[in-house]
Chain A
């Protein structure tokens, strides 16, 4: 593998990690507030569809993005009403919303466009275009650093930069603001937050609001940046990989970036080099590379490498004492 090929693999890694990272940060807010979110997949899927459909109809990718975020937000709020207000089972609610997204996107998409659930191909202003950072072209011929800057760092869709810039922002919000402190507290010990006079219900809804918006960006990225339109089941389990990354990262934003980059790298490698030949001794099948994120997550969960401790109050509805 030569240097340029290596750079191109990393470039592909960045693009593939973006969806995972946005969804993973989305899940981070929900889970840190004590709400399990199996429904990342469904929220991304509905957003991917709505974003593609609206971008196609209006010709504006920004309208698409906004609509996708709204759709994902509605799903997050249904999850909130079920699990916060009506103390329903959060896993059941998440599973159901995933089903609902799988069904609705195809039913509505097929009724609108008659293409088996696909949206028409997006072109021009209905898609995000690449951003070329300053001097990218001028520096292209500089050895080593030139390709790194102009291929790897420059030339991505805007949402790629949004995702990676969100990481320090999320870290700051979570660990350096009053909101973040309360958010973490509500996931660890909601009654203490309640005693301090902060509304548990309010905090959890705020967390789900952020989850919905971030998942919406992730979904819109899939259909308007990574691909040129919506395809049936296009999230293809990425919501679950993001969930795995969240556990892998032990619910911390900077580690989440690391986990998503690792899982993105595995996806890039399995796309570019399906069957890897190891010194002619044996081949690593593509299924193994694709499954490695799940295997690693199970190992981490089993506590064989470090220990993943979820927020203490996760999954439990909060009932105020009377």
Chain B
């Protein structure tokens, strides 16, 4: 029952929902006695006002592209992978183990190795819930939530023991070797004579994320396994008759999803921290759900949504200095409202708009 023209479905409905989310967020700001217009101004300025802020915005965008893509790949097979958080944490462990193992001479060698480490560990962490879903029928939502906690505990255990840098109390590993340093935007743009803030964390992983988005698009919409994933997501019964193995599709979709979530660690662990720290994922795995929802599980939409969420994240940090009366967690409120309106309550706006279009259509026909 899709009565909406495509542009209304893809552009109009999401825009109205985002507008509603911002209106409600504005009411929250008013309720605590602050000016929402000022808040938006300072947030946009904080997110895009200088090369430093742009660098931070793109850094967060990179995280959200990876976790958003991770969620989307599984979602196309109607698998609700809520475990991006844990898969990213374990992916970070994989990347760190590779980077700590030897003194890497140059990043061009270290990066592919770290990508393999992060994606294999991330995929491995998704493999068990995938197997339990495919073979034993255990609900993937619950198992992936449990695996988030188990993954965090493993990371905490290792960082307090085996991987802890000797002679300190903080649960973090020693720094990676110089050669594992990824070029950041400052270093990449300097040869072209473009000045970019030195300390902004955006690095080459951003392009890795864009590349991943293109690959995911090719995979889901232009490959055989992608077709199988989408077919399985839309109609598991039909795929059964078509001779497509549900076990195979479930496991492959989840492995790709976990690998993408793990890749997020390349940006944070390798690109920014240059060592493994506890809780480095900081909710980016969960945020991937929102990003993917807003981007309608499509790589192009996900890149746009990731940029919006990256702006929100960075703008929220800057807000602390400009309007200290509004706590940074306001960003969480806005993000939560966006999920509610674009995800959970999408039919609240969709149904009436559908009716309007139906009426217009009838008038046109008469």
Contact = CB atoms under 8 A, between A and B. Distances in A.
Interface stretch (B99-107, B187-195, B204-212, B340-348): B340-348
A168 B108 CA distance: 64
Is the interface on chain A under 10, 10 to 19, 20 to 34, or 35 or more residues? 35 or more
Nearest to A96: B339
Given A95-B289, A301-B132, A237 B149 contact: yes
Interface in B141-188: 141-143, 145-147, 149-150, 153-154, 156-157, 160-161
B327 A106 contact: yes
Interface in B117-131: 128
Is the interface on chain B under 10, 10 to 19, 20 to 34, or 35 or more residues? 35 or more
B136 A294 contact: no
A111 B28 CA distance: 11
B336 A97 contact: yes
Interface in A240-273: 240, 243-244, 247
B365 interface: no
B132 A83 contact: no
Given A83-B344, A100-B336, A301 B139 contact: yes
A103 B313 CA distance: 13
A298 B329 contact: no
Contacts of A106: 327, 329, 332
A139 to B, nearest CB: 41
B149 A107 contact: no
B343 A291 contact: no
Contacts of A105: 329
Interface in A273-298: 285, 287-288, 290-291, 294-295, 297-298
Given A92-B343, A96-B344, A294 B141 contact: no
A117 interface: yes
Given A99-B339, A111-B325, A310 B139 contact: yes
Nearest to A78: B340
B344 A93 contact: yes
A160 interface: no
A86 B347 contact: yes
B339 A110 contact: no
Given A100-B336, A104-B28, A298 B146 contact: yes
A10 to B, nearest CB: 25
A82 B147 CA distance: 27
B161 to A, nearest CB: 8
B82 A91 contact: yes
A102 interface: yes
A95 B339 contact: yes
B132 A298 contact: yes
B59 interface: no
A38 interface: yes
Contact of A99 (B138, B149, B286, B346): B286
Contacts, number: 152
A88 B336 contact: no
A87 interface: yes
B335 interface: yes
Residue from B142, B344, B351 whose CB has the most chain A CB atoms within 10 Å: B344
Interface string B61-92: 00000000000000000001010000000000
A131 interface: no
Interface in A104-162: 104-108, 110-111, 116-117
A303 interface: yes
B44 interface: no
Interface in B317-366: 325-327, 329-337, 339-340, 343-348, 351
Contacts of A97: 336, 340
B336 A103 contact: yes
Given A78-B340, A95-B339, A99-B336, A111 B32 contact: yes
A100 B348 CA distance: 19
B344 A89 contact: yes
A208 interface: no
A244 B141 CA distance: 12
B345 A86 contact: yes
B150 A295 contact: yes
Contact of B146 (A99, A290, A297, A310): A297
A287 B156 contact: yes
27 contacts: A86-B345, A86-B348, A87-B347, A89-B344, A91-B82, A93-B345, A99-B290, A100-B333, A100-B340, A102-B336, A103-B329, A103-B330, A103-B334, A106-B327, A107-B326, A107-B333, A111-B32, A237-B149, A243-B142, A244-B142, A288-B157, A294-B149, A295-B146, A298-B138, A298-B143, A298-B150, A302-B138
Interface of A: 36, 38, 78, 81-83, 86-89, 91-93, 95-100, 102-108, 110-111, 116-117, 237, 240, 243-244, 247, 285, 287-288, 290-291, 294-295, 297-298, 301-303, 308, 310
